Amino acid sequence: MSAQMMAIQDLPDKQTLSVSFRWLLGLYYIIPFCLFLQLFDGWFWQGFLKGHLPSSPTHFLLFQILFGTPHIIASAIVLVGNAEYIQRYQRKLVLMTVAIALAFGVGSLFIPYKVFYVAVAAWTVFHVLKQQHGVARGICRLPAWGFHLLLWLSVLAGIFIYIGIFLKNSLDAQQLEWIKHIAASLCIGLVCSALLCQRYVRTAFGKGFLWANVFLVVSSFYFYTQQYYFLAILAPRLVHDVTAYIFYVTHDYNKHQGQPQNAIYRCAAFCRLPIVIVLPVLSFCLAFVLQAYGDQVVNLITRYLFDVEIRKAVTLGLLGYLALMHYYTEAFTWKQDSPYRRFIVFSK
C-alpha cells in the first residue's frame, strides 16, 4: 500500500471514513510496550515470559484468530466480493493460482524444504515491510533512492531475523552466529541510512513515521538477540495486520454505505447491521471456524467418502493458498490507478 493524498470530494458520498495517519502511527506503540514487557520480565519475573512464550505468536490459535488469519480472509472478501474487481484482475488471479499449484505441487518433488521455507519467509517479510514503508511514503516524501534504500535494508535485515528465529533448530551454532552478525550489520546500516535520509523529511510527523519503521526492524533484532522470539515477531505482525485491516474496513464502508453493491452488504442492510462491523464480523468468524474446525471437517469428509485422511488441508492448504495470494494481490490492488483507491481517504 502506498499513501497518496486524496480529496474527500473524489468519493461518491461525503459521509466517509478516512484512514488516519495518527492512528496508523499509534500502532507502533506496541514496540515500547514489548520492550517494557521484556525488561519487566528480566527484572521481576526471572524470565518467566522468556521461558514460556512460544517462538512465534502464530503458535497461539487465539493470535491467529485475532491477527493472522482475519486480515487475509478480509482481503479475499474485498477482492472476490466485488464483481468489478474480479473482472479486472481475473487473468492475474488465474496465472498466480497455476504458479502456486506448480511450485508447491510439482516443485515440492525436487526443491528442498529449506529453499521453499526461505523463499516464503522472504516473501512474507517483504510483504509486511513493503506495506509499512508504502504507507509512510506519502508522509515522509523521501526521494525514490532513499525510499528503496530504507525498504531493502529493512527487508534484508528482517529476512535474516526471520530465518534466525524459525530455523534456529536446524542450523548449527556457526551458521546462527553468522546470521546474527549479518542482521546486526544490516540494522546498523538501516539506522545510518535513516540518519542520512531524515533530512529530506520536512515534518516532525513524517520523521516519526520514518523512525517508527526503522525501530520496527531494530526492535525485532534486539528481541531476537535476547531470545524473546515471540516479541520479535509480535510487533511487526500486529502493526502490519491492524494497518491492513483499517484499510479494508474503510474501503468497504465508503464503498457500500450509500448503496450496498454486493450480496454481503445487501444482506447486512436487510438485517440492519452497521456497515462498519460487517467485514470484521465475517472475517473473524470465518477465521475461527477454519482455524479451529476446518481440518477436522475435511478429514471427516475425505475419510467417509474416500477412506483417505488429509492432514491440514485447511490450515496449511487453503489458508496457505490465501496467504500467498494475499501477498501477491496486495502488490497491485492498492496502487494509485486501482479501483480500490477510489474509496480510501487519508487524514492526519
> Is the sign of the CA dihedral 84, 90, 91, 92 positive or negative?
positive
Nearest by Cα to 135 from 31, 275, 34, 28: 28
Exposed/middle/buried for residue 235 (C-beta within 10 Å: 0-12, 13-18, 19+)? buried
Mean pLDDT across 298-314: 80
> Is the sign of the CA dihedral 94, 96, 102, 105 positive or negative?
negative
pLDDT at 68: 76
- Please determine, for residue 10, whether its predicted confidence score (pLDDT) is greater than 60: no
- Percent of the chain whose pLDDT exceeds 70: 93
Model confidence at 309, pLDDT cuts 50, 70, 90, reads confident
Cell of 325: 495470494
Mean pLDDT across 284-309: 85
pLDDT at 1: 59
pTM: 0.88
* Amino acid identity for residue 163 in this structure: I
Q: Are 247 and 279 in contact (CB under 8 A)?
A: no
What residue segments make up the domains of the chain, in order of their start?
Answer: 8-347
- Please determine, for residue 184, whether its predicted confidence score (pLDDT) is greater than 90: yes
Mean pLDDT across 213-228: 95
